[in-house]
Amino acid sequence: MRLKPKAARDGYIDGAWWPRSGVLAAELPDLLAVLSVRLGPVWRVVYDPACWSGAPQQITVDNRTVRLDPYRFERWNTMFVFGRDSGLIVLRVIPSATAEDIAHAALMATVKPEPATMAASGIESRS
């Protein structure tokens, strides 16, 4: 998983995640443990059902119930993770079957600063 720096709120996506399987309930506990550092306790995950095998309506992580809500996103393979204190992280999920080199490139491209942000920070964009 890769996340943009907390202060960087450019663009729609906050980071990318490459799970090891297509079983959402098995993959989420580790992801939510990492994201809870930034979000606090997670209470809800909205995911693209086309990208996962069947998932339950909720799971328990660290003795807390986390709602799992399927939603067919316009941007395929998107996931919203909601923290209890109104925090939100939007992830691009890279399918588990993706080859390692392609997945790594996608992870890095997702967190790369967008050109407008680079220009505002004084960093030149080269095409």
pLDDT in tens, the chain (127 residues): 999 887 666 678 899 999 999 999 999 999 999 999 999 999 999 999 988 988 999 999 989 999 999 999 877 789 999 998 889 999 999 999 999 999 999 999 988 876 554 343 333 333 3
- Torsion, Cα of 42, 54, 20, 13 (10° steps): -50
Residues 6+ apart with CB under 8 A from 63: none
Number of domains, the chain: 1
76 in a structural domain: yes
pTM for the structure as a whole: 0.83
CB 111 within 8 A of CB 4: yes
Domain of 43, in residue numbers = 9-120
**Does any domain span residue 81?**
yes
